Each structure stands twice: as C-alpha cells, then as structure tokens.
Amino acid sequence: MIAGFGRFSNSVLHWVTAPLGKRRQTIAVLTILEHMEHVHEAVLPSGETLKFFSPGYKPGFRGIPILSKQPEVPLCIDDFQAGEVLWDVGANVGTYSLYAGLKPGVSVLAFEPEASNYTS
C-alpha cells in the first residue's frame, strides 16, 4: 500500500513537472526531494533520541524499530564499558553501530558487504 502511494506520488510529480522540459523537470524533482525530511528518530530507553539519515525507506524501516526487532542486541550493547570495541559485521544500515556509538569511550567498527544496504 505505501509503496503504491510512493509510485503514485512519483508519477504525479513527473506528470506535473513534464511541461518544464527534461532538464528543468529533473531540477524541479531533485529540488523537491532535497527538501523532504530524511532524518528519522528512534527513542531509546534512556529517553535519548538516536537520529539517522534515511534517503530511502530501508534505513528508516530498519532503524526506527531498533529496540524491538532484536531486543537482546541493545541490552548487550548497554553492558559495554569504555575502551571496548563493537565489531558490527553485517551491519546492514548500521543502527546498532549508531546505538553503540552513543556510549562514551566505546569504539565501533561496522562492515556491510551488501551495497544495496548503504545505497538505499
């Protein structure tokens, strides 16, 4: 349903801007997209807010439910002490890496081999 709404909105946007010509249409569409909200927030148990950039649905879809999808991971990260290192192998969009990065003195190394996870 939401993907259908996105496709519909895209086609309306292109239809409305078509009279501008290809060059101006591209500039108009990119300007509209540039001004859309791409920062999403996940509220943490501490009350802090984890903000992350989400140019597509995938980072937002994976980042917003950070504490509910795999609740044991943030609990484990909460036990990290200063000087420890989180190796996030298969980091996906990096939400757990961002969460661990909020802990003072904790270093984070994130690796994601699937390019579609960081270009979405």
Element (H, E) at 49: strand 49-53
Beta carbons of 80 and 100 less than 8 angstroms apart: yes
* Cβ neighbours around 90 below 10 Å, total: 10
pLDDT digits (tens, 9 = 90+) for 61-110: 766 676 677 888 888 999 999 999 999 998 887 888 988 998 999 999 99
Residue 22: CA count within 13 A, CB half-sphere: 0
Q: How far apart are CA 94 and CA 37, in angstroms?
A: 19
Which residue has 């980091």 as its token pair? 91
The pLDDT of residue 30 is 82
Q: What is the mean pLDDT of the chain?
A: 82
